[in-house]
Amino acid sequence: MAIRRRTVVSWAAYLAGALRLSGVRAWAQTANFPADRQDTLHALAAVVLPAELGAAGIDQTTEAFARWVRGYRAGAEMDHGYGMTRIRSKGASPAPNYQRHLEALHEALLSGDADSRRQAVTAALEQAKITDLPRTPDGRHVAADLMAFYFRSSDGNDLCYRAAIGRDLCRGLDGSEQAPAPLKGRA
Amino acid sequence: MPRYESDVCIIGGGITAAMLALKLSELRPELSITVVEAGKRLFDTENRMAYRQRTIDYAENAWPGDFIEDQAAQGVISRTMAVGGSALHWGGTCNRFSEEDLRLKSMFGLYTDWPLAWTELEKFYCEAERRLGVSGEPSPFAEDRRSEPYPMAAMAMTHNLIELKKWADQSGIPFQTTPQAKNTEPYDGRAKCIRCNTCSICPTGARYSPDYTFRRLLQRKNFALHDQTLVRKLVLDNAKSTVAAAEAVSYQKPDDPVEYRAPVFVLASGYCWSPHLLLLSRSSRFPNGLANTSGLVGRYMCGHAFQSAMIEIDARIYPGMNEQHGLISRQFFRVTDREHFVRHDLRVWESASGHEPRLRGADGRILLGDSLLADWRQRAQRGTARVRGYYDVHPDRDSSLTLDASIKNRFGDPLPKIEHRLDAATQARRDATREHFQQLFQKLAQAGNGKVLNTGAGNYLDHPAGGCRMGADPASSVCDSFGQTHDHENLFVAGSPTLPNAGCTNGTLTFVALTLRSAERVAARFPKG
């Protein structure tokens, strides 16, 4: 009986240590994202974001995504909904998963031609069984999440409609009866 | 044990409590008022823009800390428990009911009538609109005649709404913009709307929120707000049927119970927690709880059902211009064919539904970058209208809120369980109602070369109310039209619980109007001078 208790205690201690260790690692990976995979993330962005953004626009979006990851707060309260109420909190940081995905894509994205890079990303998404863009990035795959980050954003919405809608901005009421102005620099 | 005494003790800290306390403080400035609220006060307006951004970026709660983990109810529509209540994050819609809602029995032979004349309620609608700051335009229907204009001009229609109105009007059904408690000009010390598109967390105060009223009340020396304090039981005077005290506990000092004493108590805790407290307050003299001689506390729980559709139309819609502002038709508030009773509102909003970016094309292949954008643009050529009708359903007596002994909070109190049930007449109309909406959605679609993308039916009752329904007869109601309980002359129930039925459109303005009327009766209990 005493042995069993000791075993349980030692396993609990090991588990707590492992959790602490993985927690620290996750925190570090979040705070430093994308760490030494900056080039891979930018190469991925060039594949999954629209060329219409231009090289500078793709870089800006990539940096914004990295900032988003660094600003992620695991365990933060989520909206508890209306009608179907549930207390929910944000899951673990997606950063460790993203680092693994970038690691796996590193070679394919930094070598080969555009077609092979697209094929590598497509294969990774198929393998991860991603069926659609998440509403907000959920950590299942960095490629899907980077696309969701941009295409579901206010800026992505503007690009689709080629109009300065500014969905997430506070824009004032004046002039809202007019169609939004065309996006500057884009026909 | 700390004991607090005041002239009026209001239990609950939502929009009803705010309006009641404000009006009482104006009618009788000498009265001391204490509001006791279980949740926290979230008055950090300076952080609201940041909370809004976190909600947009991360889907985080825009009102952090606005719930109490173990103070939950089964069947409740919102977990929000904070000073300001659900109206912290409401959309601001301020539709009025219509006379039909108050005259179901006499006009249609259905359910019941309210013990209140429409002209009487209409006066208090005007007051509610003034106090909340409602912007709106008059209804085109004579039956919706107003005795006062809206305090503010209607919010201008966006390009999207103009397009949607052009389309909807082709159906022959008249639409107007939905009245809202949102400022189209600076009003009552709050800013003009700057179209942030996130009304559930308005960062500027342009959308009315009760926390603004509470902060104003706190400047008065005889107003007290005790938040994070849960009232667990109402206690009667010895040998009398008047309420003597409210027993409470502070979440910060749970081992030190608190007592509130007042000549008048008002339950302003909404449709769920008001009947819950009455049921919890059972004693040997009132074994079924307080105000419950009729056995109707926690009965006739009501709300409205809804049908919705997404309709693709030939219009250039730019999703995100002002998603919270929509159109309403009140045409179906009236029933022309009494044999086929279907009453409902009809609402239209801009939407991106069916035209959102997607990862896989129609053939299932993964789309990346340019191909995803091209697919999205191709599908976004046409616009989408989100259409919804709240329809009138009537509760059965067994539509109930009961105490669930199997789930208790940290203090050992059983928590509420709400189970809505519709009366037999409503159930008999179910298929005809569904058919009516299907035809209506098709009619709207056809008006603009449109296509119904999908339809749906709500699986809960929205804008819930009831549980302490008003009536003239103490045998069939809990309180009178002022919310004064039949059993205890110094105990009032305010707002949503008193509604016999929940109409067929948003209820908040009606809750507030009834509360403002109750305030006059509460004030009248105190002799002047």
* Structure ipTM: 0.93
For residue A90, pLDDT beyond 80:
yes
* Percentage, residues of chain B above pLDDT 70: 100
Please state, rounded to an integer, the average pLDDT across all residues of chain A. 90
Contact B60 A90 (CB under 8 A): yes
Query: Is the Cβ of B236 closer than 8 Å to some Cβ of chain A?
Result: no
Instruction: Using pLDDT thresholds of 50, 70 and 90, give the confidence band for residue A7.
Output: low
Is residue B256 within 8 A of residue B302, CB to CB? The reply is no
Contact B357 A156 (CB under 8 A): yes
Shortest distance between the Cα of B381 and any Cα of chain A, in A, equals 9
Residue type for position B89: H
Q: What is the distance between the alpha carbons of residues B299 and B301, in angstroms, rounded to a whole number?
A: 5
Tens digit of each residue's pLDDT (9 = 90 or more) over B408-444: 999 999 999 999 999 999 999 999 999 999 999 999 9
Quick one: pLDDT at residue B278? Answer: 98
Is residue B161 within 8 A of residue B327, CB to CB? The reply is yes
Q: What tokens were used for A25?
A: 């690692």
Nearest Cα residue in chain B from A67 = B57
Is residue B388 within 8 A of residue B444, CB to CB? The reply is no
Q: What is the distance between the alpha carbons of residues A30 and A66, in angstroms, rounded to a whole number?
A: 9
Quick one: pLDDT at residue A24? Answer: 86
For residue B304, pLDDT beyond 80:
yes
For residue B166, pLDDT beyond 80:
yes
Q: What tokens were used for A175?
A: 């002039």
Burial category of A159 from C-beta neighbours within 10 Å (exposed 0-12, middle 13-18, buried 19 and up)? buried
Shortest distance between the Cα of A153 and any Cα of chain B, in A, equals 9
Contacts of B68 (CB under 8 A, 6+ apart): B38, B39, B81, B230, B251
The full DSSP string for A35-94 is GGGHHHHHHHHHHHS-GGGHHHHHHHHHHHHHHHHHT--TT-BB---BSS----B--S-S
Tens digit of each residue's pLDDT (9 = 90 or more) over B74-88: 999 899 999 999 999
Burial category of B489 from C-beta neighbours within 10 Å (exposed 0-12, middle 13-18, buried 19 and up)? middle
Of A50, A73, A167, the CB nearest to B370: A50
Quick one: pLDDT at residue A2? Answer: 43
β-sheet with B243-250: strand ranges across: B3-5, B258-261, B243-250, B229-236
**Which chain B positions have a beta carbon within 8 Å of A144's beta carbon?**
359
**Which chain A positions have a beta carbon within 8 Å of B77's beta carbon?**
82-83, 85
**Which chain B positions have a beta carbon within 8 Å of A121's beta carbon?**
368
Query: Is the Cβ of B196 closer than 8 Å to some Cβ of chain A?
Result: yes
Contact A136 B58 (CB under 8 A): yes
Tens digit of each residue's pLDDT (9 = 90 or more) over A39-72: 999 999 999 999 999 999 999 999 999 999 999 9
Closest by Cα among B343, B330, B243 to B285: B243
Ranges of beta strands (E only) in A99-160 are none
Contact B370 A83 (CB under 8 A): no
Instruction: Using pLDDT thresholds of 50, 70 and 90, give the confidence band for residue B448.
Output: confident
What 3-state class would DSSP assign to B133? Answer: coil
Contacts of B176 (CB under 8 A, 6+ apart): B137, B138, B139, B140, B327, B328, B329, B330
Quick one: pLDDT at residue B322? Answer: 97
Is residue B85 within 8 A of residue B15, CB to CB? The reply is yes
Burial category of B273 from C-beta neighbours within 10 Å (exposed 0-12, middle 13-18, buried 19 and up)? buried
What 3-state class would DSSP assign to B409? Answer: coil
Instruction: Using pLDDT thresholds of 50, 70 and 90, give the confidence band for residue B528.
Output: confident
Of A90, A168, A177, the CB nearest to B158: A177
Quick one: pLDDT at residue B370? Answer: 98
Of B158, B318, B322, the CB nearest to A163: B318
Of A87, A167, A170, the CB nearest to B194: A170
B interface mutation test: which of A47, A170, A178 has the most B CBs within 10 A?
A: A170
* Percentage, residues of chain B above pLDDT 90: 97
Quick one: pLDDT at residue A8? Answer: 59
Residues A99-117: what's their mean pLDDT? 96
B148 C-beta neighbours (distance < 10 Å), count: 12
Q: How many residues in chain B?
A: 529
For residue A18, pLDDT beyond 90:
no
Of B60, B158, B197, the CB nearest to A77: B60
Q: What tokens were used for B38?
A: 């279980």
Is residue B185 within 8 A of residue B206, CB to CB? The reply is no
Q: What tokens were used for B5?
A: 């005494």
Q: What is the distance between the alpha carbons of residues A146 and B369, in angstroms, rounded to a whole number?
A: 11
Nearest Cα residue in chain A from B462 = A83
Residues B16-31: what's their mean pLDDT? 98
Burial category of A24 from C-beta neighbours within 10 Å (exposed 0-12, middle 13-18, buried 19 and up)? exposed
Residues A7-30: what's their mean pLDDT? 68
Q: What is the distance between the alpha carbons of residues B275 and B499, in angstroms, rounded to a whole number?
A: 13
Query: Is the Cβ of B186 closer than 8 Å to some Cβ of chain A?
Result: no
Nearest Cα residue in chain A from B155 = A173
Quick one: pLDDT at residue A81? Answer: 79
Instruction: Using pLDDT thresholds of 50, 70 and 90, give the confidence band for residue A79.
Output: confident
Q: What is the distance between the alpha carbons of residues A10 and B64, in angstroms, rounded to a whole number?
A: 38
**Which chain A positions have a beta carbon within 8 Å of B73's beta carbon?**
none
Query: Is the Cβ of B382 closer than 8 Å to some Cβ of chain A?
Result: no
B interface mutation test: which of A62, A69, A79, A115 has the most B CBs within 10 A?
A: A79
Query: Is the Cβ of B153 closer than 8 Å to some Cβ of chain A?
Result: no
| Farthest-apart Cα atoms in chain A, separation | 78
**Residue B419 phi, psi (nearest 5):** -130, 110
Query: Is the Cβ of B78 closer than 8 Å to some Cβ of chain A?
Result: yes
For residue B108, pLDDT beyond 90:
yes
Residue B177: beta bridge partners? B327
For residue A6, pLDDT beyond 60:
no
Burial category of B387 from C-beta neighbours within 10 Å (exposed 0-12, middle 13-18, buried 19 and up)? buried
**Which chain B positions have a beta carbon within 8 Å of A62's beta carbon?**
none
Tens digit of each residue's pLDDT (9 = 90 or more) over B242-284: 999 999 999 999 999 999 999 999 999 999 999 999 999 999 9
Query: Is the Cβ of B316 closer than 8 Å to some Cβ of chain A?
Result: yes
Instruction: Using pLDDT thresholds of 50, 70 and 90, give the confidence band for residue A3.
Output: very low
Query: Is the Cβ of B80 closer than 8 Å to some Cβ of chain A?
Result: yes
Instruction: Using pLDDT thresholds of 50, 70 and 90, give the confidence band for residue A25.
Output: confident
For residue A166, pLDDT beyond 80:
yes
Q: Which residue do the tokens 């709207």 mark?
A: B444
Chains A & B: contacts with CB separation below 8 Å? 157
* Coarse DSSP helix, strand, coil percentages of chain B, rounded to the nearest 5 percent: 30, 25, 50
Query: Is the Cβ of B375 closer than 8 Å to some Cβ of chain A?
Result: no
Of A52, A132, A152, the CB nearest to B360: A132
Distance of CA B214 to the CA centre of its chain: 18
For residue A10, pLDDT beyond 70:
no
* Coarse DSSP helix, strand, coil percentages of chain A, rounded to the nearest 5 percent: 60, 5, 35
Quick one: pLDDT at residue A83? Answer: 77
Instruction: Using pLDDT thresholds of 50, 70 and 90, give the confidence band for residue A19.
Output: low
Residues B7-34: what's their mean pLDDT? 98
Please state, rounded to an integer, the average pLDDT across all residues of chain B. 97
